[in-house]
Structures are given as structure tokens and as C-alpha cells.
Amino acid sequence: MKEWIKTFDADGSYIGNRSRDEAHQRGLWHETFHCWFLSFDHGVPYIYFQLRSETKADFPGLLDITAAGHLFAEEKVEDGVREIEEELGVSVPFSDLKPCGVVKNEIIEKDFIDREFSHTFVYEHPHTFDSFHVDEAEVIGIFRATYDSFSSVCRGKSDSMPIEGFQLDDGGKKFVQKEAGLQDFVPHQHTYLEEVVDRIAQIFVIR
């Protein structure tokens, strides 16, 4: 079954609906919904990542935005919250999200060109790891890092950062602590990542 999405030129002018596969094959700009979870633990800000399922067609087994997905042609931006519940099993009202604006993001691989106008949001996550009930077809783990360490990696000031969280193991949640660098993430543009950490810092006055 084809998934139809709106496509645009590089300036953001609508140029028609296309299938998701065609948009990626031709490198057409389209809309996505991105939501980054943030929490404060004893005053320290942490940012959360999902671990993509090994069965995903694109970028299996890599860390990524907490929750993200394409907006279908008939959807509004606020409909993107379905991605949070579908992937993470967490119900979040759109009104609880803080907008970071639209951030351009390109991923260019062989036979795959993903050009996104990403409607980006941040959600102050008040829950524990036990609150996540992930869809194993999409997500097999949730991790977090301090905002400062993630920002440092995104800006090329550090090669890696400590992360902690859980990974599904025989149906249960196995707690994991390890090091991760950008090579362990879906290859989003550095400019996208830098823009996101800047905007999150502005919203939450993180210095």
C-alpha cells in the first residue's frame, strides 16, 4: 500500500502529492514530524533517543530522534503526535509540545535521498523508562544522554558520549550503559542537529 505525502520545491512551494517511495527516489522535499524528549534529573537536562528496530528498511539498529515520522498528504502537523504513541506507547497532547520551528534536513545515500522540512518539537518528559511501551517493529530501545554531552558531540567537540537506557531482550527491558557517537545515529545533517540543540537550549534556557 502506497503512502502519499505532499512534496515541495527547495523553497517550500507545494508541487503535488507523491508516494513516499517516489519522493525518496527523486529527492523531493516533503514534511516530517520530529519530537525530541527532554527531562531534568536533579536539575541536569537529558535528551532521549530511540533505538530503531533491526527489521527497519532504513537505518536499522541505529539511534534516532525520540519519535519521528512522515506526515501523510491528508494530515496536519498536529496529527504527527500519532508517531509518539505508535512508536513509544506514550500518549502526549499536541498542546504539551514546545515548537522548535521547521528545520531542513537532508540524508543522501545510494538510491535514497531524504529531503525533509521537519516540523520539530520538544517535549519535557516527566516519566521514567518504565513509561515507554515501544512497538518492537519500530523501536527496540530508549536511551538518554545529558544535553551537554549530546550538544558537544553534535558540534564535533567530542567523539562520543555516555548513554543509558533499555534495550528489549527476550521481551523484557535490559538496562544498558555504553558510549555512543554520531556513527551510531541515523546520519542526519550536522546542521540539523546543531540547529535542534540550539533551539532546545533557547526554549529551556540551557547554558
pLDDT digits (tens, 9 = 90+) for 128-141: 899 999 999 999 99
pLDDT digits (tens, 9 = 90+) for 44-70: 999 999 999 999 989 999 999 999 999
207 pLDDT more than 80: no
- Backbone φ and ψ of 101, nearest 5°: 90, -175
**In which domain, by residue range, is 105 found?**
4-204
pLDDT for position 50: 98
CATH number of the domain that residue 166 is part of? 3.90.79.10
Number of structural domains the chain divides into: 1
Split at pLDDT 50, 70, 90, the class of 205 is confident
Quick check: 137 and 55 in contact, CB under 8 A?
yes
Name the 3-class secondary structure at 59.
coil
- Compute the average pLDDT of residues 87-108: 96
pLDDT digits (tens, 9 = 90+) for 82-95: 999 999 999 999 99
171 pLDDT more than 80: no
pLDDT digits (tens, 9 = 90+) for 2-44: 899 999 999 999 999 999 999 999 999 999 999 999 999 999 9
Split at pLDDT 50, 70, 90, the class of 161 is very high
- 22: Cα separation from own chain's centroid: 22
Quick check: 67 and 92 in contact, CB under 8 A?
no
- Backbone φ and ψ of 47, nearest 5°: -115, 145
